[in-house]
Amino acid sequence: MKNWIPFILLLLVLSSCKTRNAARKNTNKIQDSTFTESSNNPKDANEPVRDKLTFYEHVLIPPKFDQIKINSKVNVETGSFIPTLDATIYIENDQKVWMNLTALFIGVARGIATPEGVRGLDRTSKTYIDSDFDYLNTLLNVNFIDYKSLEKILMGRTFVKISDSRFTLTKNAQGFRMVSNGTQRIETDEKAREYEITLLYDENYDLLSVHLKDVLSPDELEISYSNWDEYNGIRLPKNVKIIIKGSKNSQILMENTKFDFSKMETPYSVPGNYKKIEIK
């Protein structure tokens, strides 16, 4: 099987999240997408957050929308040459995520995710897949991705479960830092895994990065967001950087160039001469 199928699925999961420098409305300071752990400036010291309710309201309550269409430029780095991909991503709230990929104006792949699972076809090899979310979890070196967490990733929202009892929340001059208290055990039907988790937010509560490290393996996943802005009353990131480490290493860089909130058709069908790829 050629490489397009893994990429379409990876991109479905991570498509709309974006890496950010957080150049903001209401601030003239440009912030990096990572926090400095140590500084001689006392203002940079991590201090407990007193108004936790406001923080949780901002980072956990999802935005209200019916549908969003995103045009993106996608670069995938795996050690092999992959041309820049043009992606059209369409998210219909609680229903589906649809993506079409082209390279040099030629359609190469298409995919759709629903609460039931993920389907994708690769025009370059005339193959297709029809799978549950285990395949996406395998690609991302995690075990907890389902449709709802996929939507949250695409919207740049907090996609791991956080709570006051399981995480420590602090604030410094750059924004907010949330670190898991010890390891966080995440159980699914298939397996249980334990992670160390760190989440960073800027002063406006926009998500800067999520880092997950499996404590029993070399697997890591980091998603960083930048250049947030408001579109149609919803804050969305323009850029995303996804780094996957462990049994496989890869990196995805995405630049969202346009957001549209109108409804669109999302055709998906598999030609009769395509071969199904069995997921093992």
pTM over cut 0.85? no
* Overall domain count for the chain: 1
pLDDT of the residue at 128 = 92
Is residue 31 in a domain? Answer: no
Here the tokens at position 5 are 């199928």
Report the pLDDT averaged over residues 65-90: 90
Q: What is the mean pLDDT of the chain?
A: 83
The span from the CA of 239 to the CA of 237, in Å, is 6
The residue segments making up the domain with residue 139 are 4-25+45-264
Is residue 167 in a domain? Answer: yes
Is residue 183 in a domain? Answer: yes
pLDDT of the residue at 1 = 38
Is residue 275 in a domain? Answer: no
Here the tokens at position 149 are 């967490």
CATH of the domain at 141: 2.50.20.10
pLDDT (tens digit per residue) in 20-36: 333 333 333 333 333 33
Is residue 35 in a domain? Answer: no
HEC states along 116-158?
CEEEEEECCCCEEEEECCHHHHHHHCCCCCCHHHHHHHHCCCC
Here the tokens at position 43 are 């203002």
pLDDT (tens digit per residue) in 198-207: 999 999 999 9
Query: Strand ranges (DSSP E) for 36-126?
Result: 47-48, 67-77, 85-92, 96-103, 106-114, 117-122
Is residue 177 in a domain? Answer: yes
The better pLDDT of the pair 147, 191 is held by 147
The letter for the amino acid at 35 is F
Q: Is the pLDDT of residue 190 over 90?
A: no
- Residues of the chain with pLDDT > 70, as a percent, come to 83
The better pLDDT of the pair 12, 88 is held by 88
Here the tokens at position 189 are 């039907």
Is residue 59 in a domain? Answer: yes
Is residue 36 in a domain? Answer: no
Which pairs from 208-215 meet CB under 8 Å and 24+ separation?
A: 208/20, 208/22, 208/31, 208/33, 208/34, 208/35, 208/175, 209/33, 209/34, 210/158, 210/159, 210/160, 212/142, 212/160, 214/141, 214/142, 214/246, 215/183
User: Which 3 state secondary structure label does DSSP give 238?
Assistant: strand
